[in-house]
Amino acid sequence: EAGVAQSPRYKIIEKRQSVAFWCNPISGHATLYWYQQILGQGPKLLIQFQNNGVVDDSQLPKDRFSAERLKGVDSTLKIQPAKLEDSAVYLCASSLEATSNEQFFGPGTRLTVL
Amino acid sequence: KQEVTQIPAALSVPEGENLVLNCSFTDSAIYNLQWFRQDPGKGLTSLLLIQSSQREQTSGRLNASLDKSSGRSTLYIAASQPGDSATYLCAVRTGNQFYFGTGTSLTVIP
């Protein structure tokens, strides 16, 4: 069974530029999550999708971050414009359902904002 | 707001030793608790998932317990090996949110 795929693995941009990350969850997983992990901290949930609907985006900085999952499979997370403090690893995870199921994580995208 | 704490922040043990990692949380109204390991520069690997109605889960040399009323979970690793060296994270689900601890960095010395 293929795992959660993410691309790119690394991205370096200058502040005020835009960037987008892509995630393909495990086949059949209805729930998809985007996390931000700043160095030395645990992951912070940014947004959770159930199929193509948003379940929770309470911690997503909506003035600059956006995410979509149009067909209920792949998802993209965008930052526009980026700030220095956005430097982090962006992790995508998926699970069969939302409440009780195990989450499986992708390898992450390491973003550096200069 | 749920707060998750992991103690110790770092741990170094000789190979073969049994060890316990701790995770505590402030709000006992959780759906589940999950333990992960994270290797440097990589994503998280799921180790064990404990539902709120369960007391413990076991997988190979790993055993995780959950005491929801006291807001605590422990991860027991038996007969540690150098390959167990990694950062171990716990996460609790409260409502629609997941809250992670900052992890315990484990080094197993050959």
Q: What's the rounded Cα separation, in Å, for the pair B11 and A84?
A: 32
How far, in Å, CA of B31 to CA of A99, rounded? Answer: 7
pLDDT of residue A19: 98
| pLDDT per residue as tens digits for the range B63-109 | 999 999 999 999 999 999 999 999 999 999 988 889 999 999 999 99
Q: Which residues of chain A have pLDDT under 70?
A: 1, 98-100
- Closest A-chain CA to B93: A99
CA distance B55 to chain A (A): 15
Using CA atoms, how far apart are residues B35 and B50, in angstroms rounded to an integer?
A: 9
pLDDT of residue A1: 62
Q: Is A53 exposed, middle or buried (0-12, 13-18, 19+ CB in 10 A)?
A: exposed
Token duo for residue B20: 């316990």
Cβ contact (<8 Å) for A42 and B4? Answer: yes
For chain B, the average pLDDT equals 95
Q: What CA–CA distances, in Å, run from A50 to A79, A89, A101, B67, B79?
A: 21, 23, 13, 29, 40
Report how far residue A98's alpha carbon sits from residue A12's, in angstroms, rounded to the nearest whole number: 32
Of B43, B46, B98, the CB nearest to A106: B43
What is the average pLDDT across B4-29? 96
Around Cβ A42, how many Cβ atoms within 10 Å? 22
Average pLDDT, chain A: 93
Q: How many beta carbons lie within 10 A of that of residue B42, not counting itself?
A: 14
**Yes or no, beta carbons of B46 and A104 under 8 Å apart:** yes
Contact A43 B43 (CB under 8 A): no
Exposure of A76 by Cβ count < 10 A (0-12 exposed, 13-18 middle, 19+ buried)? middle
Alpha-helix residue ranges (DSSP H) falling in chain A: none
Find chain B residues with C-beta within 8 A of A90's C-beta. Answer: none
pLDDT in tens, B37-67: 999 888 899 999 999 999 999 999 999 999 9
B53 at the A interface (CB within 8 A)? no
Provide CB contacts within 8 A for B98, sequence distance 6+. Answer: A33, A43, A45, A103, B91, B92
* Per-residue model confidence (pLDDT) at position B67: 96
Distance CA B103, CA B35 (A): 10
